[in-house]
Structure 1
């Protein structure tokens, strides 16, 4: 059941990445965030109810709530036209907690591949904090590309391979994921710098393209 939820985490990260890149309208993304957020709250709740004495299951289930609450928060924000600061600072909390879950996967669960994947997620949620909490819109395109790529690499592909019995969470997989992430996200940085909003500071200028992208439905 965890793999099923992870599959749709991949979908929503991909959609949210495309939204930040201006390819998906904010309200459409908001509705899908609510769907996946609800799934990622129901799934860990069921896992906890039916496995109350399994510490590993409880640990994994507790991490799923971080995603569920993020997507519910994002969906409500997009549909309600609220300020993004709350989502941004919650993303900081998730980014910090993800480091702990990475350590737990490496040291307690013996799952190095997902130890690396949690580092991916920590990096992405840290970007969400800078973008939405600190309102540094200069990283909008970069964050969009990182989210879209991570949707496939950290969620959709591992989930599908797990469901089909082909996922191998060993040291080799962890190394491949680590090298891929460092190389791809480093190369993306200079490639996505052009075309970002310039001369904007946190909360002091005219509404940014990000604000327009996520809140423009308020004018409809």
Structure 2
């Protein structure tokens, strides 16, 4: 169930990235945020309700609400045009929690690749805090590219591999993901960071997230 949710998290991240890059209108992106946000509230509720005394399942499912609430917040914000500071500061909270879930995956769940993926999400949510909470619009294009790329690297591709039974919890995969993040996101910063091909943020908000 969580893996299905992860697939659609990839879709909404990609769409939100395209919105920040000016390719998709904010209201056009709102509906998918609401659909995926609702999914990411229902799925963890079912998982927790049926987990019994399986504390590892409850622990893993608890982080899904961070994504569900984020996307619902974003979808409503895109439709109503409310100020972005609320979702921006909520993103700061999520970024801090994502670091905690990364440690959980490394130390308790023994899944180093998803430990790194949670760090990806911590970085992305921190970007949303800076963009939407602090309103530093100079990072709009950079955040858009990071969001779109993470939609594939942390959402769609891992979800397909998990659903097909090909995902592994091997350390080399985690190292590869970490190297990819440093090289690609570092390179992007020099290409489209503040002062380089900056575009104005579209009216509304967009945001990150996992299942």
Report the CA distance between 1:195 and its aligned residue.
2.4
Query: Structure 1: which 5+ residue stretches go unaligned?
Result: 198-208, 216-220
Distance 1:28 1:76 in 2: 12
Q: Which residue of 2 aligns with 1:13?
A: 13
Instruction: With the length of structure 1 as denominator, give the TM-score of the two structures.
Output: 0.90
Distance 1:213 1:19 in 2: 10
- Pairing of 1:32-43 with structure 2 (within 5 A): 32-43=32-43
Q: Which residue of 2 aligns with 1:124?
A: 124
Distance 1:183 1:157 in 2: 19
Query: Structure 2: which 5+ residue stretches go unaligned?
Result: 206-211
- Decide whether the 8 Å contact of 1:22 with 1:213 is kept in 2: no
Distance 1:25 1:110 in 2: 40
Q: Which residue of 1 aligns with 2:158?
A: 158
Report the CA distance between 1:118 and its aligned residue.
0.3
Distance 1:10 1:87 in 2: 19
Distance 1:127 1:190 in 2: 16
- Pairing of 1:75-94 with structure 2 (within 5 A): 75-94=75-94
Distance 2:4 2:53 in 1: 22
Structure number with higher relative contact order (C-alpha < 8 Å, ≥ 6 residues apart): 2
SS across alignment from 1:213? coil
Encode CA deviations 1:157-193: one digit per residue, 9 max, x unaligned.
Answer: 0000000111112101100000001110000001113
SS across alignment from 2:169? coil
| CA RMSD in angstroms, aligned pairs only | 1.0
Distance 1:66 1:32 in 2: 17
Distance 2:186 2:52 in 1: 42
- Decide whether the 8 Å contact of 2:84 with 2:204 is kept in 1: no
Instruction: With the length of structure 2 as denominator, give the TM-score of the two structures.
Output: 0.94
- Decide whether the 8 Å contact of 1:89 with 1:129 is kept in 2: yes
Q: Which runs of 4+ in 1 moved over 4 A?
A: none
Distance 1:64 1:52 in 2: 18
Q: How many pairs are equivalent?
A: 203
From the CA coordinates, give the structure whose radius of gyration is larger: 1
